[in-house]
Structure 1
Amino acid sequence: MTAAASDLDRLLVAIAKIPTPWKEWPGGYPTRLDLALIDAVMSIRFRYGRERSDGSWTGARGAVLRYQKHSEHVSHSEKMSYLAGQDPVALERVLNRQKVHAGKTKASAIVEAAQRLVGIGVTEPGDLQPDNAEHRKQYIGVSGLGPITWEYLTMLLHSDGVKADTWITRFVQQALQKLVSNEEAGALVKEAAQKLEVTEKSLDHAIWSYASTGGLKINPR
């Protein structure tokens, strides 16, 4: 479905106000499905993080790096199976104790998602197919996980896309001066990327970086 020209034009005007050069997409984990999964889930309602003076990181990035060190003794072919076999309570101590909702920790959601993917033979980045309905069903079948972080997971591996989270959606809403859903915001950003002849990831990150560091007049709750 093509967005109304007026909506696209308004978004393009807002995008043109983002300082250049844009902050570059930091890259994902094209060889590590386990780390991509952890990043996708830990990113839910959580800051990306910043590097401390000692080289460690805060936020979601910090959690991923701590797990990477925690699992460095595991062979590459066993990484996903190792994650699927983690005790969620013990994994909390490596990551943190955040929750995806009141009744479920992010650690338990990560372990369940890993178990579901391993159960259908998805153990390597190349195994995960963004358009595979069964792969998507297994991921979003975990309570607390949904289509936004599913798309982000595929972006962290090998696919182009837009993670239409709160910052992206609020940026689009402010540009259009009206409310739109996450899905509508994501679709419009993809359309803008095509118009600008840039990757969806690069535009996603430019908008997110701008919006999350004060570019919006009204901060999302």
Structure 2
Amino acid sequence: MKDTDVVRAAEFIGAELPREAWPHWNQGWPRESEAALLDAIFSSRAAYGTPKTGVRAVVDRWRTHRSVAAGEHLDSLSALAAFTDRGDELATILGNRQRVPGNYFTKAEGAARAAKALADAGCRCGADVEDTEGLRSAVVSVPGLGPRTFETLVFLSGKLTATSIDLLARFATEASSSEELLSSTDAAELLVAVAEHLDVDVPTLTHAAWRYQRTAEQPRRSKKSTTPPAADPLAETA
């Protein structure tokens, strides 16, 4: 890996997803399946927010309800699944009544239903989250939740699917201004080198890069209004 590629990629990151503005400079939610599922659902078609607003506020309220201190793990999907028939109560606990795409029900109820579907499929904690057809089907069986929700859950749980690996390769290619698509191996090597250059751990940089590229590539939703509001760069779709 050339030093010039590393510097170029670091400059790209500083300009396009600076740490002072891009809210995804963290490791995601490895070993915290409850938080990962909440994030995957509540970040759909919504501004991610700050550490005290948006998605992270939802996770913090759930952590408080569960009496799980920071440093401990929110890692039992059965806790969310227990609210399958109490969606309104869960929405009150989470302080958020946004609805899933399609307006079927609240995201809180969607999270509870997804947790139950995953648990019924044998996935009860972060260690059980894998890119399998069974777990994918469990998530997308919930109205309003789609493959992107499942991909986010897997990624936030610390796992890389083939889709995520390809996405990171495209990010590394753009960041380094490579004329050819980097291989997954070269992309991984570049991210490791850039992380060292920026003095940040590799999982944190990988999470920030993955979120950036996924947001950049998402299809633009059509607007009913002839004068649509400015696009929110932090919004993600299911």
Q: TM-score, normalised by structure 1?
A: 0.65
Q: What corresponds to 2:91 in structure 1?
A: 92
RMSD between superposed Cα atoms in Å: 3.7
Identical counterparts, % of pairs: 28
Give the distance between the partners of 2:133 and 2:214, measured in 1 at CA. Answer: 28
Give the distance between the partners of 1:138 and 1:203, measured in 2 at CA. Answer: 27
1:69 aligned partner, one-letter code: T
Give the distance between the partners of 1:78 and 1:49, measured in 2 at CA. Answer: 23
Give matches, 1:73-84, under 5 Å: 79-84=76-81
Unaligned regions of 5+ residues in structure 2, if any?
1-7, 173-183, 192-204, 218-229
Q: How many residues align?
A: 176
1:106 aligned partner, one-letter code: K
Query: 1:91-146 deviations in whole A, cap 9, x for unaligned?
Result: 0112211001322210111111011111122111111111x110111011111111
2:108 aligned partner, one-letter code: A
Contact 1:99–1:106, Cα closer than 8 Å, also in 2: yes
Q: Is 1:127 aligned with 2:128? A: yes
Give the distance between the partners of 2:26 and 2:109, measured in 1 at CA. Answer: 27
Q: TM-score, normalised by structure 2?
A: 0.61
Give the distance between the partners of 1:119 and 1:32, measured in 2 at CA. Answer: 18
Compare relative contact order (CA 8 Å, sep 6+) and give the higher one, 1 or 2.
Answer: 2
Contact 1:28–1:157, Cα closer than 8 Å, also in 2: yes
Give matches, 1:42-57, under 5 Å: 42-51=42-51, 57=52
Q: What corresponds to 1:68 in structure 2?
A: 63
Contact 2:34–2:77, Cα closer than 8 Å, also in 1: yes
Give the distance between the partners of 1:129 and 1:148, measured in 2 at CA. Answer: 14
2:79 aligned partner, one-letter code: Y
Give matches, 1:189-204, under 5 Å: 189-193=168-172, 194=184, 196=187, 197-198=190-191, 201-204=207-210
Give matches, 1:1-221, under 5 Å: 17-19=12-14, 23=19, 25-51=25-51, 57-72=52-67, 79-86=76-83, 87-95=86-94, 96-100=96-100, 101-130=102-131, 132-160=132-160, 187=166, 189-193=168-172, 194=184, 196=187, 197-198=190-191, 201-207=207-213, 219=231
CA distance 1:149–1:66, shift in 2 (3 Å): same
Contact 1:83–1:111, Cα closer than 8 Å, also in 2: yes
